[in-house]
């Protein structure tokens, strides 16, 4: 059971954290090739160029092929920076992290920590989606929240192997190298730092969203492929899952540290291609605005 749960959660960690624990994309009719702009920015300093590419971490065939401008920017880069390298995860270490951050001990169960309404909603979700309820018995609410979205994403036709991050991880060729901006350990620790009430609210919100997940993902993919930042940001704000205090930790606070890491590349001389959840880049508190405020030149690349 635990092995299956880890496989469900791992690919979803970055997308759920980066986009407020609710967003990805699903199969839908893709915009015409000429209208495919995606979300990419070019950031320049006196010594270097960094491309910021907004990612959705699970995908379908409609995402591809990516525009030539995107692939050319990647090919010209010496460094691929991702949130964490899912291809290099040590599953033994992942098990230890899950036990440390996401599991109850001493006989405690998830149901003991949930309001009756949320516990019943979780039971109903598991029953309707063929999810063994016992699988979640020892997990903390934040793990259960991610599991709910993971199973809903699978039902909507999501495939982590077709996500944007995986696409570029598979395309890396020497002498290019892969850097991690964060790690699975860090991302799990952020989620685990949530109070019990925050975690309960996150799970309740995820359960409410699960039923309309496919429709939401279709709208988000349309905005994403079209490069429509306004629509994409509006969807994120409308569908944010969980308390605002937790969303600040998951988005705004991490944007600051990610922007600092990107700043390090801009002070160097190696052209870099940074792939992070699109929700981290856009908006007034996104990485693009933070870098612009620091005096770097930021422009949309390949925008309409």
Domain ranges, residue 40: 2-300
Please say if the pLDDT value at position 195 is more than 50.
Answer: yes
Token code pair at residue 276 = 């992070």
Dump the DSSP string for 99-158: HHHHB--TT--SGGGS-HHHHHHHHHHHHHHT--GGGGTTB-HHHHHHHHHHHHHHHTT-
Q: Give per-residue burial for 95-115: e unless 16+ CB within 10 Å, then b.
A: eebbeebbbeeeeeebeebbe
Query: Cβ distance 152 to 213 under 8 Å?
Result: yes
Rounded Cα–Cα distance for residues 63 and 27 (Å): 9
Query: Cβ distance 249 to 198 under 8 Å?
Result: no
pLDDT tens digits, 41-71: 999 999 999 999 999 877 778 888 999 999 9
- Residue 214, classified by CB atoms within 10 Å of its CB into exposed (0-12), middle (13-18) or buried (19+), is middle
Q: Which residue has the tokens 């950031």?
A: 43
Phi, psi of 196 (to 5 degrees): -60, -40
Rounded Cα–Cα distance for residues 114 and 119 (Å): 6
pLDDT tens digits, 223-265: 888 888 888 888 877 666 567 788 888 889 999 999 999 999 9
pLDDT at residue number 198: 92
More confident site: 220 or 292 = 292
Residues in the chain: 304
pLDDT category of residue 188 using cuts at 50, 70 and 90: confident
What is the number of structural domains in the chain?
Answer: 1
pLDDT at residue number 14: 45
Number of helices (H), then strands (E), in the chain: 15, 6
pLDDT category of residue 163 using cuts at 50, 70 and 90: confident
Query: Cβ distance 254 to 13 under 8 Å?
Result: no
More confident site: 157 or 188 = 188
Please say if the pLDDT value at position 7 is more than 50.
Answer: no
Token code pair at residue 90 = 């040590």
More confident site: 158 or 4 = 158
Please say if the pLDDT value at position 290 is more than 90.
Answer: yes
First and final CA of the chain: distance in angstroms?
A: 47
Rounded Cα–Cα distance for residues 186 and 84 (Å): 10
Percentage of the residues of the chain whose pLDDT score is greater than 90:
48
What are residue 276's DSSP bridge partners? 54
- Mention every residue, 6+ apart, whose C-beta is less than 8 A from residue 235: 23, 216, 219, 220, 223
pLDDT at residue number 88: 86
pLDDT at residue number 167: 94
pLDDT tens digits, 116-133: 999 999 999 999 988 889
Query: Cβ distance 179 to 80 under 8 Å?
Result: yes
Token code pair at residue 156 = 């909507």
């Amino acid at each position: 059971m635990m092995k299956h749960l880890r496989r469900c959660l791992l690919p979803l960690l970055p997308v759920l954290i980066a986009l407020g624990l609710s967003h990805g994309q699903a199969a839908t009719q893709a915009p015409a090739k000429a209208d495919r702009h995606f979300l990419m920015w070019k950031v320049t300093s006196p010594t270097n160029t960094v491309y910021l590419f907004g990612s959705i971490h699970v995908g379908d065939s409609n995402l591809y092929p990516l525009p030539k401008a995107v692939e050319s920017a990647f090919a010209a880069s010496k460094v691929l920076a991702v949130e964490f390298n899912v291809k290099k995860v040590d599953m033994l270490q992942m098990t230890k992290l899950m036990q440390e951050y996401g599991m109850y001990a001493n006989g405690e169960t998830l149901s003991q920590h949930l309001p009756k309404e949320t516990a019943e909603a979780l039971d109903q979700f598991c029953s309707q989606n063929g999810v063994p309820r016992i699988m979640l018995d020892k997990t903390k609410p934040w793990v259960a929240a991610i599991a709910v979205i993971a199973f809903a994403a699978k039902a909507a036709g999501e495939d982590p192997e077709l996500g944007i991050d995986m696409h570029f991880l598979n395309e890396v060729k020497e002498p290019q190298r892969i850097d991690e901006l964060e790690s699975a350990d860090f991302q799990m620790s952020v989620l685990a730092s949530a109070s019990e009430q925050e975690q309960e609210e996150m799970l309740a919100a995820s359960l409410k969203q699960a039923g309309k997940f496919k429709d939401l993902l279709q709208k988000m993919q349309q905005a994403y492929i079209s490069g429509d930042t306004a629509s994409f940001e509006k969807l994120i704000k409308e569908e944010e899952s969980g308390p605002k205090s937790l969303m600040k930790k998951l988005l705004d606070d991490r944007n600051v540290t990610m922007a600092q890491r990107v700043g390090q590349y801009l002070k160097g001389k190696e052209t870099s291609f940074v792939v992070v959840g699109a929700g981290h880049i856009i908006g007034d508190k996104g990485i693009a605005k933070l870098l612009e405020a620091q005096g770097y030149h930021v422009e949309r690349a390949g925008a309409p």
